[in-house]
Structure 1
């Protein structure tokens, strides 16, 4: 292992996690299982990363965002002139994990479902797991359930039970540190899928060492100051799958923005596709093309995963 002779030139693992959005557990797993990003070590064994290694982590994220499995990333980041890979050829991890979770839902096997999810969470950033595993699985199941009667209803309820149980548990466990800054997630509609969507966003913030306050079901925008005036929030994410009332767009959101000019505010859900221009005009962040990156953008963590630097 490398020893760091000039510790001040390196970054500790928690600082690297803040800069890249990859939590320490995942960084250690990459190092241990795949020989990725081998850090320097202090005499006491603490991991230290150079600026170049931080850039390598960002290059790893670049490829993961394109669907490449973590087991195939190492040669891609080591050879800058290597041609672009076809993600479909290297996504065995996602195919296998999706199949395992799909089978678990069909057989109502919660332990198997959680085991597959835990494996994904140990190897990939949470937003990558959401984008490459959970959302595609959710979409596949919803298509299968259309018009399938009682059996589909049982599976849907079981899927919701597994998702919400797992996610609420993670938020509770990771939110016990009182020193963490709070991210407020608020639903402006009351569809059952709104709660799950916000929980998945909350899991991203939680993995980046933020406490999460989830406000569901429907909350009025006019009620938010009652919360934000009492809690020093680091960011606010609003969510809705429904068209917003004209009063919300024309009066309530502009007033909220004016009351908290320095607070990062984002909006997710299908309502973004309807109101994107109005939300942009007010100064509310949206990411309709890459919604899984919205939380990173709000928290100012890492870099947009659009180019391998």
Structure 2
């Protein structure tokens, strides 16, 4: 069956595996929400296969929003079926990427978590993760980091708010992806002394979509402990991400030395990889660039099979 099908005119319909990929909710959970709680009612093919419309995918995202707020799943249907106080304006076209990036930057600067939630769920419900990262999140992050470089009051609050927002959403998506992932284990962590984890989180999101089993660290481990972490956690590779150039000593001495000590590939991605590419070219560090989907794809070719 194709990833989407046409039914009843021009309405696209999606099989359960595609809905699971788009939303991060595994198929077992989707079936439970249908059978036990009546939260979604997909269409059926003559052979009984489930097909979901766009509105079903949006309803799944709404369910996730309520669950993230701590609402028990048994109470979600009542909230979903409750009529809105006033009709909502139609959502903007997510394919209008420049406008979406502008809205995303504005939402971060305004600390508008509701708008962030809408942009996050709409984009991932309608487009592949790689497209959303390449067209929306990575360009918006570059623009935000340029503005944050001014060291104005409130910049740290904006960064940490966005990090906290993405940490919960991406963490949940990785959790659901783990159940169906069959790839090798990847240890992912920020570069030492980097000011944030945003590039790392986006890279981890993409790695999960590539079928890797991601072990995501919010803070860098001491470099001397990474070989032990690889051994104990069964890591097949290590991915470091960073937004700034990093210390010269770290780049020229410590990372190449670490690559020699590790028995698995050591990759570096994000803006730091573009900035330091020339210095690390002859080292054992896999310099993967700041195109995150391409970076994950390149690293994946270096990893042994699971």
What is the match of residue 286 of structure 2? 285
Q: Paired residue for 2:162, among 156, 159, 164?
A: 159
Q: Which runs of 5+ in 2 are unaligned?
A: 3-14, 24-44, 52-92
Compute the displacement of 1:246 (Å): 4.0
Looking at structure 2, the residues matched to 250 and 234 of structure 1 have their Cα atoms a distance apart, in angstroms, of 18
Distance 1:103 1:275, change over 3 A: closer
264-273 or 145-154: bigger deviation: 145-154
Looking at structure 2, the residues matched to 125 and 183 of structure 1 have their Cα atoms a distance apart, in angstroms, of 21
Q: Paired residue for 2:212, among 184, 188, 210?
A: 210
TM-score normalised by the chain length of structure 2 = 0.58
What is the match of residue 22 of structure 2? 25
- The CA RMSD measured in Å over matched residues stands at 3.9
TM-score normalised by the chain length of structure 1 = 0.58
What is the match of residue 178 of structure 2? 175
Compute the displacement of 1:133 (Å): 0.9
Tell which has more relative contact order, 1 or 2 (C-alpha 8 A, sep 6+).
Answer: 1
Looking at structure 1, the residues matched to 148 and 271 of structure 2 have their Cα atoms a distance apart, in angstroms, of 21
**Which residues of 2 match residues 96-135 of structure 1 at below 5 A?**
96-135=99-138
Looking at structure 2, the residues matched to 249 and 143 of structure 1 have their Cα atoms a distance apart, in angstroms, of 26
Distance 1:42 1:213, change over 3 A: farther
Whether the 8 Å CA contact 1:198–1:239 is kept in 2: the answer is yes
Distance 1:289 1:162, change over 3 A: closer
Looking at structure 2, the residues matched to 185 and 280 of structure 1 have their Cα atoms a distance apart, in angstroms, of 21
Compute the displacement of 1:275 (Å): 4.5
What is the match of residue 296 of structure 1? 297
Q: Paired residue for 1:254, among 260, 276, 295?
A: 260
Compute the displacement of 1:185 (Å): 0.9
Looking at structure 2, the residues matched to 196 and 112 of structure 1 have their Cα atoms a distance apart, in angstroms, of 18
